Structure 1
Amino acid sequence: MQRYFVPAAQLEDKSVALVGDDARHVAAVMRSKPGDCFIACDGNGRDVLAKIVSVDKEKVHAEIVEELTSNAEMSWKVTVAQSLPKGDKLEIVIQKGTEAGAIAFQPFLSQRTVVQYDDRKEAKRIERWRKIAKEAAEQSHRSVVPDIHAVRSWKALLQQFEQYDLVLFCYEEEGRSGNGLRDLLASFKTSELTAKATSAPRIMVVIGPEGGFTPQEAEAATASGAKWIGLGRRILRTETAALFALACLAYESGELGGI
């Protein structure tokens, strides 16, 4: 069933309204009629089943039939911090990372970032990234649209580390030495912090650009509280690394069973 994320103001106690692109999608693409149903989400965990009362290309009115319970979110709140890659690779990371369960994306600049960053174009790019995240969240039937944060400097990113229960710094040198993710997460899951946590652990995964991180950046990351990890013995493309890490975290968090 088609799913739409709507602002909380449009999702009331007994009714919901779709406007703009969502209304046009219902009318022109789905060709829905009164009596048809869709799922509406406020992006903060409230999902409802709604039945269309009236429909046109500008606005769709629907009545709420049922409050739904969703279990589509990962039990760990994972933020992907991605050094800006070339081309449209960040769009791929956001789209596929949303499907894989990331709760937020934090683009940043590092020493080997190749992209010539232009802050005058940032608002337009962030708007596009947020649209990609919204559409991917709808497609994958999530209850939350991931946050897309403004691009930060390397120094500003390091200052964010203290906000997380665990920061995983993906460093290819650790992969070569065999120091991977599994043992670190096993320790994390049994730690006093995790065992007594009343809310989902907040984890950040830090991914470097096409050329990887410099040794100086790796040292600065660990000095700021991050844990070095490898993602296996092979060298992954920057747009692959985040998705690989998210899959590992989904497995270790128990999403695929076994815990």
Structure 2
Amino acid sequence: MQQYFVNGEAGRFVTIEDENTLKHMFSVMRLQANDQVVLVFEDGIKRLAKVADSTSYTFEILEELQDNTELPVDVTIAAGFLKGDKLEFLTQKTSELGARAVWGFPADRSVVKWSGKKLIKKTEKLKKIAQGAAEQSKRNQIPRIRLFEKKQEFLNCLSEFDRIFIAYEESAKTGEKKVLARELALLPKGSKILFVFGPEGGIAPEEVNLLEKQGGLKVGLGPRIMRAETAPLFALSSVSYAFELMT
């Protein structure tokens, strides 16, 4: 059954106004009167609804659903700005895997530079990708997207997390493989976790030092060196294993 995120609060009847959502519902999926879909409002609760009027795009809410597919912990993925469409790929896949937020920042080794209107345009594009991925994977929430123009703005936000993990290539090379598993086992459900990844050239030692001063922990993600857009997927899979598959 198709799922859609909608703005506003749920009443008995709701009228959809977003043009992109309407296009997918009635032009692509060709919904007709009495067809059923799942609507997710801003409260994160899924509700079964049916098309009450296909000309005014009105739906009748039938019942609340108990389905909740969110990770038991709040995970933010922060990556240095990546070349090409890698950040789009990263946003889509981490949204499917359960990230609560996806951040980008201008790392020392980032080749691309975004600012002003380009940054706003990129952010809006990533928000659409995150919503589509969240609908496809039947999430209860759309990941929050934030791209920082200045690295210091990113660093100023680190105090809001319960644990910060720095995916550091040098740690993997030296065989470090205990910190992530150990720390995840100690964290309670509901914790706020930040994973920090460098761009294609990796995270710089100076950046590692700054993150460690904020309480960040260097972690190795296994013996293989992964690409910048692959490592976050490994990290989220590890979190899912620790909090969803081991319980």
Normalising by the residue count of structure 1, what TM-score does the alignment of the two structures yield? Answer: 0.90
SS at match of 1:239: coil
SS at match of 1:82: strand
* Deviation of 1:187 (Å): 4.0
Quick one: distance in 1 between partners of 2:112 and 2:33?
48
Alignment of 1:152-191 (within 5 A): 152-180=149-177, 182-190=178-186
Alignment of 1:75-224 (within 5 A): 75-180=72-177, 182-190=178-186, 194=187, 200-224=190-214
Identity %: 36
Which residue is 1:22 aligned to? Answer: 21
Quick one: distance in 1 between partners of 2:184 and 2:143?
24
SS at match of 2:225: coil
CA contact (8 A) 2:184 2:242 kept: no
Quick one: distance in 2 between partners of 1:140 and 1:30?
17
Q: Deviations over 1:119-175 (max 9, x none)?
A: 221222111110000010000000100000132422222222211000000000100
SS at match of 1:128: helix
User: Across the two proteins, how many residue pairs are aligned to each other?
Assistant: 246
In structure 2, the CA distance between the partners of 1:143 and 1:210, relative to structure 1 (3 Å rule), is same
Q: Which amino acid aligns with 1:55?
A: S
- 1:32 aligned to 2:48? no
Which residue is 1:225 aligned to? Answer: 215
Quick one: distance in 2 between partners of 1:145 and 1:187?
26
Q: Which amino acid aligns with 2:200?
A: E
Normalising by the residue count of structure 2, what TM-score does the alignment of the two structures yield? Answer: 0.94
Instruction: Structure 1 unaligned segments of length 5 or more: list them.
Output: none
Quick one: distance in 1 between partners of 2:25 and 2:180?
46
CA contact (8 A) 1:43 1:143 kept: no
RMSD of aligned residue pairs (Cα, Å) = 1.5
In structure 2, the CA distance between the partners of 1:232 and 1:238, relative to structure 1 (3 Å rule), is same
Quick one: distance in 1 between partners of 2:164 and 2:94?
17
Which residue is 1:46 aligned to? Answer: 45
CA contact (8 A) 2:106 2:113 kept: no
Q: Which amino acid aligns with 2:3?
A: R
Which residue is 1:236 aligned to? Answer: 226
